[in-house]
Amino acid sequence: TTQYIGRHTSIPVPKIIDVWTEKDGSAVLEWVDGERLEEAWPTLSSEEKKSIGQQLREHLDALRA
């Protein structure tokens, strides 16, 4: 779960504010400021893209540990 990931890894996750299971089930998470990767990606340099790729690899490694 998101809370477990936040407690046991260095992966940044938003705080869960509320969860309910009526109908389709939903959750309210805190807002995280920033630009969406899909919007920023075309404007990034090769080095910035490599850095993001490395960060994603590190997060995936942490999830697998």
What's the pLDDT score for residue 21? 84
What's the pLDDT score for residue 52? 96
Give me the residue spans of the domains in the chain: 1-33, 34-65
Apex 34 CA angle, 32 and 40, nearest 5: 140
Q: Report pLDDT digits (tens) over 17-63.
A: 998 888 778 889 999 888 999 999 999 999 999 999 999 999 999 99
What's the pLDDT score for residue 48? 98
Contact 28, 14 (CB under 8 A): no
Q: How far apart are CA 44 and CA 57, in angstroms?
A: 18
Q: How far is CA 44 from CA 1, 23, 49, 60, in A?
A: 31, 40, 6, 22
Contact 48, 33 (CB under 8 A): no
